[in-house]
Amino acid sequence: MEASTGMLSFKPRFIIRVIPFVLMLLVCPLTNAQQRDTKVIDAVVNIHVNQVRAWDDSYNNASQGTGFVIDSEQGLILTNKHIVETGPVVAYAEFSNKKQIELIPIYRDPVHDFGLFKYDPKQLDGLKISAIPLSNKASVGTPIRLYGNDGGEDLSIIEGVLSRIDRPAPDYRNTNTDFNTFYFQAALGSSGGSSGSPILNSDNEAIAINAGARRDADTAFFLPMEMVMPTVEKLRHHQAVKRGTLQTEFTHTPFNRLRTLGLAEDKIVQELKHSPGATGKLVVSHVLPKGPGDGVFEPGDILLSINNQPINNFFELESLFNQQVGNKIDLLYYRNGKELVKTLVVDDLFALTPDEYIEYGKANIIPVGINLARLFNIPIHGLTLVDAGPLFGSQNIKRFALIEEINNQPINTLDDLEKELSEIGIGARFSVRYRYPFDIAQQQYKQLTDYTDWFDNSRCKNIAGQRHWQCKPLIKKNTANGKHNFSSNKVVTSPIVDISVFRPVLVNSQNDVNRRGQGAIIDKDAGLVLTDKSVIDSSLAVINITFNNGVSNSGKVLAIHPYLNLAMIQTDLSGVKFSPSILPKLQSIQPDTSERYQFIGKSSMLDFKVNASALWPIVIGNESFHDSFEFAPLPDVYGLYLNNKNQISAVNTNYIYDKSSMNDIIPARLVLDFVNTVKQDKDGMYMLESDFNYISYAEALELGMEGIDVTNTDRVLSVYSVESLGDNALMPGDIVLKVNNQPVSAINQLYQQVKQPLFDMDILRNGKPQSIKASARFKDFNTFHDVIFWGGAIIHKMNDKVYLPDGPAEGCLRISVFYFGGPIHSSGITNGSCIYAIDGQKVQTIGDIKKLTINKQSGDYTRVQIVELNNNFRIAEFRLREDPYYWPIKHWNLGEDGWQRVNLD
């Protein structure tokens, strides 16, 4: 009964709440306007775009925008050109039922900010879409609504009123700036993500496309549908679209201002008689160099008619140009009180818009197009570097460089470029002459080394209506090693050498491609050169060593010290002649305060020596000589400290921002230990996982040091922090007394005692002496042996402990660097995270990633779990869309012959 009573007491309350809503539906069905709103919402889509290659309008990137269906049967979506992009893209539309469908770009307007995508209506899972009709009728005061992905939200509806319909095109100060068109204006306050949204009138007709806005106001700008509809209608009926230009920009100027330009009153009366509704004429504002209008038009010329047809606005101008592509036209214009007549040929806008590129050494080179030419006032001619990549970027050649010559041969077209690049041998030096469009008067010259065997080099072209740009590999005719070997009669007079490093694969979360620094020859017979981690951070590098007689040798990385700022490379010194006694000796020496020391190094390409006795921070007591924590007097100069017997006492390294190698001056004993370990063909060294610092003897007494017999009463060694996520016998605050029964009072002494995974340590903890077994971890000289490029990201092993759900792990597969516009970037995965699992399967090796992703197709979803290292090892899950066409999987492996690319077939 109680249960029944409870049920009876519940139902009336339910009925009271539901009946009014049901009655409301019966009495007040959805109005026509509400039904139309529902149809509009279904027709508006969120667009996710990956621009997979840099272009003249932007870098490669991932972004969101809005579009709307204008033909539901053919699956046509209208949006902005800066959403469709001029270069290659991968795009998906998300509909109101949350279904995501791949989009194919079918039109990019050469000038105006609109373009079209196509989708397959059969993939909508039954969603019926009513296309949004287009209208070219608008007036000031028209109520409008914007339906779009405003600020990244799924759907925002913003209402406003048209305040202007004859606004000049907004100047974005980039290649996306429109010209020769009116724009609409309203105070909508729309933001990023709403680009491409329809601007609807009260009949839910699209009268414009949302294009841009001011950041400092609520003002928004819309491209009028009158500029869009002629092209859309031709595309819907599968007709050819033609777009014409004279490479000349006009501004619409009202009659009252035309009077100030000298237009006679009778001319104005005559114009108004021919065109009663006209408010002004078009005036020349800019003429591109070497275009059809160059030498014909001047800024301030007033265009009167074309082919005897009066031209009063941009719509009339564009319509006529589009009808006369490739034809001659007669222009009547007014200048300084005179009427002038000229005949010009209308250019094809599509021919002036780049639709092809060459990718070489991950650099992206395209023809100069009309929009870049307009931005910098240069002729539409030649090629421009829109992404310098590692190859050109290594010599600081920047974006938009105009390539004029390769190896002294003129470069005007992509055919010229392809021919010259094919003749360059792998490893050869080649010259580039170029200038920047923003500094057109200055030509520059650089020498580059061809490292393109590390990359996939191709030439790609856009084919209308196809999902991907069609690419073909660039074939090098000269496959032999083109490196030039130089000899010199001069002897080498300094052990300091210049080192240049090319990093073809961006590892260790560092995105610099080219590094330069110094090193020192420390073993002539073995060809060993010592440098630091600011120059060498991995063995995945192309090394060139230059001696002070001008001769250069290639080198290879042998080892990178696990914790000190040292790296070892090897080169062939058998053919190099040195002056007598110039090479220093590396020995285990006991310093003497009576000795005089010299510092040798290199600055501004000059070798130098300085007296270092007064500058060198000498710490003699208790063998803490040249302590690693001391600050070097010349922190920005790599060099050696030598005694009067030409023996290396210490090495001064360049400062590197890495807590594992923040030491500038490193004593000879630690350097010798590193060198001997490398010469013994060992794979690595043991390192402590704890950080140490010094505390004063007075502070140590307060911690219970009294009664402990020590020889050093200046300072003692203390554990600062314990970094290991696993078991460790040390605790913060421990005072180190002995290691392996040897008294230790300096960090250097501690380093020299760590030779095995477990060792004895006497410590003072909580005021009581204790003996413990401390642990050290073996770290490989080559931190990783495999690198994979997947999803547009470089991934390799990180040799530090991380905390995973199943406990501490020795390292992880870290995302070192990702490329904008790639699947990993667009999925939202953060840089520096570790891959934990793919499609629910835990991954521990590069081979695991390759196995799980190698057969993925374009558009396939992949579930990725990552460990967020900067968020206390939180596990996060993402979904990414595979794109093996533009971001194919690549795998490099370190073998006996060095790093090699693995054939994935």
DSSP readout, 442-480?
A: EEEEEEEE--GGGS--EEEE--TT-SS-EEEEPPPS--S
452, pLDDT greater than 90: no
d(CA 196, CA 213): 12
pTM over 0.85? The answer is yes
- Alpha helices, H only, 139-264: 229-236, 255-258
Which one is predicted more confidently, 655 or 215?
215
d(CA 285, CA 724): 68
Instruction: Of 230-244, 384-398, 619-633, 738-752, give the lowest mean pLDDT range.
Output: 619-633
pLDDT mean over 848-857: 95
616: confidence class by pLDDT, cuts 50, 70, 90: very low
Question: Which residues on neighbouring strands pair with residue 65, listed in sequence order?
Answer: 47
- The pLDDT tens digits for 36-76 are 678 899 999 999 999 999 999 989 999 999 999 999 999 99
Residues present in the chain in total: 905
345, pLDDT greater than 60: yes
Half-sphere exposure of 302 (CA within 13 A, CB side): 25
Q: Distance from CA of residue 615 to its chain's centroid? A: 43
Q: Look up residue 56 and give its two tokens.
A: 């003249």
Give the pLDDT of residue 605: 79
| DSSP helix/strand/coil, 42 | helix
Give the pLDDT of residue 811: 85
228, pLDDT greater than 90: yes
d(CA 784, CA 782): 5
Helix, strand, coil shares of the chain, percent, nearest 5, are: 20, 40, 40
CB-based contact 188:181 (threshold 8 Å): no
- The angle subtended at Cα 787 by Cα 785 and Cα 790, nearest 5°, is 160
Give the pLDDT of residue 419: 96
- The pLDDT tens digits for 173-205 are 889 899 999 999 998 877 777 899 999 999 999
d(CA 85, CA 196): 12
- The angle subtended at Cα 500 by Cα 499 and Cα 502, nearest 5°, is 145
For the chain, first and last CA: distance in Å?
74
Instruction: Of 230-244, 464-478, 647-661, give the lowest mean pLDDT range.
Output: 647-661
Q: Cα separations (Å) of 102 from 40, 55, 511, 749?
A: 21, 22, 32, 63
Could you tell me if residue 411 is left (phi over 0), alpha (psi between -120 and 50 degrees) or otherwise beta?
A: beta
Which one is predicted more confidently, 10 or 312?
312
Q: Look up residue 413 and give its two tokens.
A: 């077209």
Give the pLDDT of residue 107: 97
DSSP readout, 272-324?
A: HHH-TT--EEEEEEEE-TTSTTTTT--TT-EEEEETTEE--SHHHHHHHHHHT
Residue 748: which of 639, 619, 560 has the closest Cα?
A: 619
Give the pLDDT of residue 794: 96
d(CA 389, CA 620): 50
628: confidence class by pLDDT, cuts 50, 70, 90: very low
Q: What is the dihedral of CA 719, 724, 725, 729, to 10 degrees?
A: -60
pLDDT mean over 568-594: 85
Q: What is the 3-state secondary structure (H, E, C) of 608-667?
A: EEEECCCCCCCCCHHHCCCCCCCCCCCCCCCEEEECCCCEEEEEECCCCCCHHHCCCEEE
User: Given CA atoms 256, 258, 261, 263 in this order, what sign does their dihedral have?
Assistant: negative
Give the pLDDT of residue 263: 87
Q: Cα separations (Å) of 258 from 164, 265, 413, 428?
A: 21, 10, 42, 61
| DSSP helix/strand/coil, 389 | helix
Give the pLDDT of residue 896: 85
pLDDT mean over 246-265: 92
Q: Containing H/E element for 267?
A: helix 265-274
Residue 146: which of 190, 184, 109 has the closest Cα?
A: 190
Question: Which residues on neighbouring strands pair with residue 891, listed in sequence order?
Answer: 788
561, pLDDT greater than 80: yes
15: confidence class by pLDDT, cuts 50, 70, 90: very low
- Amino acid symbol at 748: N
d(CA 57, CA 355): 13
Q: Containing H/E element for 864?
A: strand 861-868
Give the pLDDT of residue 588: 77
d(CA 883, CA 856): 8
pLDDT mean over 91-97: 94
Q: What is the CA radius of gyration of the chain?
A: 35
d(CA 860, CA 639): 53
11, pLDDT greater than 50: no
- The pLDDT tens digits for 271-290 are 888 888 889 999 999 999 99
Give the pLDDT of residue 753: 87
**Long-range contacts, 678-684 (Cβ 8 Å, 24+):** 678/528, 678/558, 678/559, 678/568, 678/781, 679/523, 679/526, 679/528, 682/781, 683/780, 683/781, 683/782, 684/559, 684/562, 684/778, 684/779, 684/780, 684/781
| DSSP helix/strand/coil, 51 | strand
Give the pLDDT of residue 629: 38
CB-based contact 641:648 (threshold 8 Å): yes
- The pLDDT tens digits for 257-270 are 998 888 888 888 88
Mean pLDDT over each residue of the chain, to the nearest integer: 87
| DSSP helix/strand/coil, 605 | coil
| DSSP helix/strand/coil, 362 | coil
Strand duo 807-818 + 786-790: pairing: unpaired
pLDDT mean over 473-495: 78
CB-based contact 479:425 (threshold 8 Å): yes
| DSSP helix/strand/coil, 35 | helix
- E strand residue ranges, 648-785: 648-652, 665-667, 684-688, 690-696, 715-722, 735-739, 742-743, 758-765, 768-780
d(CA 78, CA 468): 20
- The pLDDT tens digits for 796-848 are 998 878 888 888 888 899 999 999 999 999 999 988 899 999 999 999 999 99
d(CA 158, CA 781): 60
d(CA 85, CA 75): 19
pLDDT mean over 590-598: 70
- The pLDDT tens digits for 692-721 are 888 888 888 888 888 777 766 678 889 988
Determine the longest span between alpha carbons in the chain, in angstroms.
Answer: 112
Give the pLDDT of residue 361: 92
Percent of the chain with pLDDT over 70: 89
d(CA 159, CA 199): 10
Tell the residue number behind the tokens 């999902």, with chain if given.
Answer: 467
Give the pLDDT of residue 481: 59
Which one is predicted more confidently, 516 or 213?
516
